[in-house]
Structure 1
Amino acid sequence: MSVRAKQAVAIAVGLVIAAVMMWLGVWQMSSYEESTRDVSAERAAEPATPLADAVSADGEVQDVYGKRVTFTGEYLPEYEVTVGESAPWRVLTAMRLEDGRHIAVVRGALDPASVEDGIPAPPPGVHDVEAIFLAPDLPGDGGGTEVADMRTVRIQELAQEWPSPLIGGYVTLHGSDSEAQGLAEAELVLPAAEGSPTHRGYALQWWVFATGGIAFGLYTAHQLGKDEKKRLAKTPAD
């Protein structure tokens, strides 16, 4: 076999090894992402926690973001905004809790085209609520052509106009509860979870190996070329 053929084989082997390692890295990262989704789903499926126990009097929130909470309160329809950068908008209404604190509640979603008909009013009276507790949203990216009252749920901004004290987070009602209030189900974006760091570490490891595979193939081909040059240099000319 000629030197060039050997070099081609060495590079091909390195590329094959790299392709396998890249595939393993992608598979491992998929496992990491899946574990992240599992963690978020598991948190949302845990037994509900009383909100009064999860948020201290000074406003400190325990590890309940992305989990179900329960509380009792009364809607304040005069404190209501729509949220979103594009359809459908979320309907965010203040609720006064039994202990005098307040929380922002995403009652559901609606199409901006139907706003002319008015947003369905929240049910009067005191209600027992079970919903997913979420941290304030990140600032919007400025996209969308029909912007609601707010681009994202920003508790700090609401606190300037809504009654206080206002809990540092908001809840999103279950789809059936939204439908009962004449609204569509609001999209529930669970917080990003850490998942298993083992999967992520293995993914990075496989990609490093892939780089090594390519480097090995190129190095071997280079060495074969050097060895051939040395052999020719030692061979007497005819």
Structure 2
Amino acid sequence: MADAVRTDGSHSSVKQVFIILLGIALAGVMVFLGLWQMHVFQAQQDGSTQARINEPVITWAEAPEKADVMAQYGRRITITGTFQPSTTTLVGTSWPVRVATGVKLTSGETVAVVRGQLSKGQRIPTPPRGTVTMTGVLAASESDDDHRDTQMPVAVLPSLRLEVLTQTWPQPLVPATLTLDDKNARAQGLTPAQPVLPKGDGGERNRGYALQWWVFAIFTVAMSIAFARAVGKSKA
């Protein structure tokens, strides 16, 4: 009789271990599927962004209307104008920071141009004098960034927000920023900066799909533990 009890207990323990291991294995698959979902979305988004950058360069004789400017976000734009050194502003939440300077177009508007990146302790290079033609990637005004390093100088803006620039920069201000390409940035003695472009449509939806897989994984592990305990009690 005692042997029978021990045999049942042993079988019960084996079943419990099997159930828990199966739950962990299934949860692992779900975690992988969530990561895969995020990776696929990021790859598609990066490909879409790069494809837009690779489209033919647009030349501005003058800044277009606001709606047309917005339609060209993410495109490469060639502009001609004159740097306004007094507008030079540092932007970033940690080093290196971006160097933004206003460029007055030949048609009279001012556009915020990100000339490149500046390392801590590096002197800000003087912008070129006279009329200059340059190419960069057009982007929208950025949202506020509250992840600021408390050690950063107060004069350094956490993000490139046009509503902040309008308080001190010459008007009218083009509703966009332009991040110079590698060639133009290096010509000014700066490290090229990456344009800050908005996330593509579907970001929240795809993150939601990934989160669902991870919630399912947690639920699966919890249920496997519950089933294992039920098996143990039924043999008690």
Displacement of 1:160: 1.6
Task: Determine whether 1:38 maps to 2:43.
Answer: no
Displacement of 1:105: 1.0
Are residues 103 and 22 of structure 1, via their aligned partners in 2, closer, same or farther at CA, if it must alter by over 3 Å?
same
Distance in 2, matches of 1:23 and 1:173, equals: 38
Displacement of 1:102: 1.3
Alignment of 1:46-57 (within 5 A): 46-51=55-60, 55-56=64-65
- Residue in 2 that maps onto 1:124: 130
Displacement of 1:132: 0.7
Displacement of 1:10: 1.8
Letter aligned with residue 20 of structure 1: V
1:105 to 76, 101, 113: 113
| Amino-acid identity (%) | 33
Number of matched pairs: 225
Task: Determine whether 1:186 maps to 2:193.
Answer: yes
Letter aligned with residue 103 of structure 1: V
Unaligned runs of 5+ in 1: 230-238
> Per-residue displacement from partner, 1:51-90 (whole Å, max 9, x unpaired)?
578841x577423333222333222233323333444343
Distance in 1, matches of 2:193 and 2:204, equals: 31
Displacement of 1:5: 2.5
- Residue in 2 that maps onto 1:233: none
Match of 1:91, SS state, is: strand
> Per-residue displacement from partner, 1:84-103 (whole Å, max 9, x unpaired)?
34443432221122332111
Distance in 1, matches of 2:16 and 2:191, equals: 64
Q: TM-score, normalised by structure 2?
A: 0.76
Letter aligned with residue 68 of structure 1: R
Are residues 139 and 206 of structure 1, via their aligned partners in 2, closer, same or farther at CA, if it must alter by over 3 Å?
closer
Are residues 144 and 174 of structure 1, via their aligned partners in 2, closer, same or farther at CA, if it must alter by over 3 Å?
farther
Match of 1:4, SS state, is: helix
- Residue in 1 that maps onto 2:3: none
The 8 Å contact of residues 48 and 70 in structure 1, kept in 2 or not, is answered as yes
Are residues 201 and 148 of structure 1, via their aligned partners in 2, closer, same or farther at CA, if it must alter by over 3 Å?
closer
The 8 Å contact of residues 59 and 168 in structure 1, kept in 2 or not, is answered as no
Q: TM-score, normalised by structure 1?
A: 0.76
Distance in 1, matches of 2:160 and 2:31, equals: 39
Letter aligned with residue 160 of structure 1: Q
Distance in 2, matches of 1:50 and 1:65, equals: 14
- Residue in 1 that maps onto 2:151: 145
> Per-residue displacement from partner, 1:108-137 (whole Å, max 9, x unpaired)?
23345343xx63232312x33321112223
CA RMSD of aligned residues (A): 3.2
